[in-house]
């Protein structure tokens, strides 16, 4: 799709390169928000309440991050695609299991999903370095936020 904007921030090759890493990052972030809400709704057990609340905090971070990535794509003249079929096809996350999950399983599954998303963002950071320092910086900030959430999640796995 051709950009509707008269002035391009980057040349076409750089724009295409950015889109090739930012689009899967967007899909993975949108999927992560859905995974976290699924976990939030279905966590059960003695640690239900703190996990339930923690997951909502992470969802807020992830939704803000996905909006920032989508807006960066628009700034570059690329139409972001957050439709369900695109997200399902492009996300790097494993499917979250159906049904209720105990606290330990929820922490493990959500930690794995957050870590996978961090891996996608770190790949984007490496790829964007020479193409788009603004996009690179955006992904660094998002990754930093998610790495903090990962620490707080997986600290609960320690005994």
Q: Which of 101, 148, 127 shows the shortest CA–CA distance to 25? A: 127
pLDDT the model gives residue 91? 97
From residue 147, give the alpha-carbon distance in Å to each of 41, 77, 140, 154. 23, 29, 10, 10
Instruction: Record the pTM.
Output: 0.96
**Rounded mean pLDDT, 4-11:** 84
Domains (ranges, CATH) in the chain? 12-155 (1.20.1260.10)
pLDDT the model gives residue 1? 61
Q: Which of 4, 58, 20, 1 shows the shortest CA–CA distance to 135? A: 20
pLDDT mean across residues, the chain = 96
From residue 68, give the alpha-carbon distance in Å to each of 95, 100, 103, 129, 137. 24, 32, 31, 18, 12
As given in the structure block, the two tokens for residue 46 are 């003695």
**Rounded mean pLDDT, 61-77:** 98
């Amino acid at each position: 799709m051709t950009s509707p904007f008269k002035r391009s921030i980057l040349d076409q090759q750089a724009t295409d390169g950015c889109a090739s890493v930012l689009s899967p990052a967007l899909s993975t972030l949108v999927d992560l928000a859905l995974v976290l809400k699924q976990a939030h709704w279905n966590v059960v057990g003695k640690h239900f309440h703190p996990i339930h609340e923690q997951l909502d905090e992470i969802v807020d971070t992830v939704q803000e991050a996905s909006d920032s990535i989508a807006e960066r794509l628009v700034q570059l003249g690329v139409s972001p695609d957050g439709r369900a079929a695109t997200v399902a096809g492009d996300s790097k996350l494993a499917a979250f299991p159906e049904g209720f999950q105990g606290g330990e399983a929820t922490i493990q599954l959500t930690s794995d999903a957050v870590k996978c998303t961090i891996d996608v963002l770190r790949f984007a950071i490496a790829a964007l370095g020479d193409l788009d320092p603004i996009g690179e910086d955006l992904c660094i900030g998002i990754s930093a936020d998610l790495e903090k959430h990962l620490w707080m999640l997986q600290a609960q796995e320690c005994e």
